[in-house]
Chain A
Amino acid sequence: MPTPATQIAGDPLSPAKNRGSQGALPLTAKQIAAADQSGDDKSALSGVDVTNVRLLGLVMNKVERVTDCSFTLDDGTGRIDINRWINEAPDANEVTAIQNGIYVKVHGHLKGFHSKRHAFAFSVRPVTDFNEVVLHFIECIFVHTEIKKIRGGGSAEIPTNLTVASSFPNGAKEYRAPSHQFSAYVAMDGPGNNIYNIVWGVFQEPANLGRENGLHVDEIVRKLGIPKNTVINAINYLVDVGHIYSTVDEHHFKSAYNG
């Protein structure tokens, strides 16, 4: 998921500053290759400087040595070489579980350029629930659209989450709930119109971001002039989706972004 750290890491002024704190972005092999081909590391990834990635695919051509294990990961969109160093006994166990032809989920660090592009894996786990395969690619799509939105690039061509939801003709109802959940992200781009966005907007005001203890519930009630229950509901929701967190007591909350 595009975390605050991802956004900061994408800032051209501080390319390396947050390298270590950046989350692992779910990507397809095609996305990595496309970024390489354009000669610009950042184009296909919408301007985000990516180092840590999450990949999922089939294991091929596994070669196990004493010090490391290498294999080719085929995720159906392309193939990329993966290397896993064996430092301790648990690493060796993990490597033993990797077999040709099985699905694995890889968290790793992208290295090299162009055709030499490969990844050093931190972890390689066999997939046991195959719904994860679908989930991974849906996450790739989701993160792609969110990054584009956050970067403000090509928002005209990027569908809203509601459009994505409506692409499921038979399952529109089931998918409506998550799409609504993402509406708080939309608030980052501009003024929203539902209560979550309005409350979220208060937390995002620069003066409030800088306050160590965050905001008291009553302050928001006074500022917005809306019923306390409504504000508390919105706050609970924003806490659940991870946009804000409680600070010194259960009445104070602070934005999880940039603060």
Chain B
Amino acid sequence: MELKDKLLSSFMVFEDRLNDESKHLNEIRNEAINTFQQKGFPSKKDEDWKYTSLNALLKHDYCISPQQETAVEFKEIKKYFIHDIDTYKIVFIDGKYSSFLSETTHDGIDVCLMSSALNKPKYKIIIDSYYNKAAKSDHSLTSLNTAFASEGAYIHIPKNKVVEKPIQIIHFSTGNEATLMLQPRNLIVVGENSHVQIIERHQSLTSNVVLTNSVTEVFANKRAIVDYYKIQNDNQQASLIDNTYISQKQSSHASVHTFSFGGKLVRNNLQFFQKGEHIDSTMKGITIIGDKQHVDHNTLVHHIEPNCESHQDYKGIFGDRSTGVFNGKVVVEKEAQKTNAFQANNNILVDDKATINTKPQLEIFADDVKCSHGCTIGQLDKDALFYLRSRGIPKKEAKALLMYAFANNVLESVKINAIKTRINKLIAQKLGVNLGFDL
């Protein structure tokens, strides 16, 4: 049976089990499964998927709703946490919440589980006002997630709260049920004037095949500040489709940094919607991959109202036979005068067989705006390499230093030092060097 048919028939069984769910949610699910049924999985015929094929991933016979609970020892997985600073943690293993590994709270803020939020009456107002309101209802993979969504992180920060501790959302997969398909769903609602920092990671602990189709909705209310960090360094059999939707109100600031160092196939669909004036949206990324890895960044900033800014800066380093895609769309509506929109995508191809497809798309309907974009594809500068080698630094280390120099300005806007340190270590590891100092 094809995966699509399997999912459609599983939905009926899945739906029967959800007998206490509200009528509202039930309608959302039914609408979503209908959309998925109509659209199916995207193919290369879709303009947005021209350079990324899911075909190989869809051939597996996935376990769609794993029942088995798997215990994992903290010491085995400690390294995947940012553990040198105090954080809240929402941890899942094969899609199931692990209370043992998590550190949640209801003390003034809610950092807890989507399953609770979807079922308990006390969260109903928030769920009714926000859930599935930013996610695109006509997008097939997002709809597939919406149909099956049952677990993930639920974060609600009421107004005027500065959350000091970053919140880590970590999805582990063990693949103890062989080939696994996971569909986590996160909802993050940040009240007026509140600040929050979130770190998200998907990590497979075995070499079993896993496909994650994740949806995250973030709502930044007036003057809220949301900083989101995504660390993608999964193993060779793990693939991730990340769909993140960020809806911003007046004078809010939202940033997403995506660090893509691993995984078989990673697709980041990242969309910002500016629903107010004086909004700032930032999206940055460093991609360093090799082997036959594939990373695709598909971004959208929708400038709807006047006097807003957006900043995009993606750096990519591609080795071996890896492939990268950057497709960045900026839409500036007629009303969105005085928009400042910047986009940059710079890439280095380290090997002859590596590929990058980069495509900026600007759709500007306003006439008083500043929009710039630039993309470059290059190789390492030979003069620079000679300079470093002439100081006694061997070729491999010299290349690594140059690649680091190329990518590191993306780290300047990272506000959590522990993350900077971690990313620097991952970069050094990814480049296979030990320089005797932390980059």
A and B assemble together: no
Seen from chain A, the residues whose Cβ lies within 8 Å of a Cβ on chain B are none
Seen from chain B, the residues whose Cβ lies within 8 Å of a Cβ on chain A are none
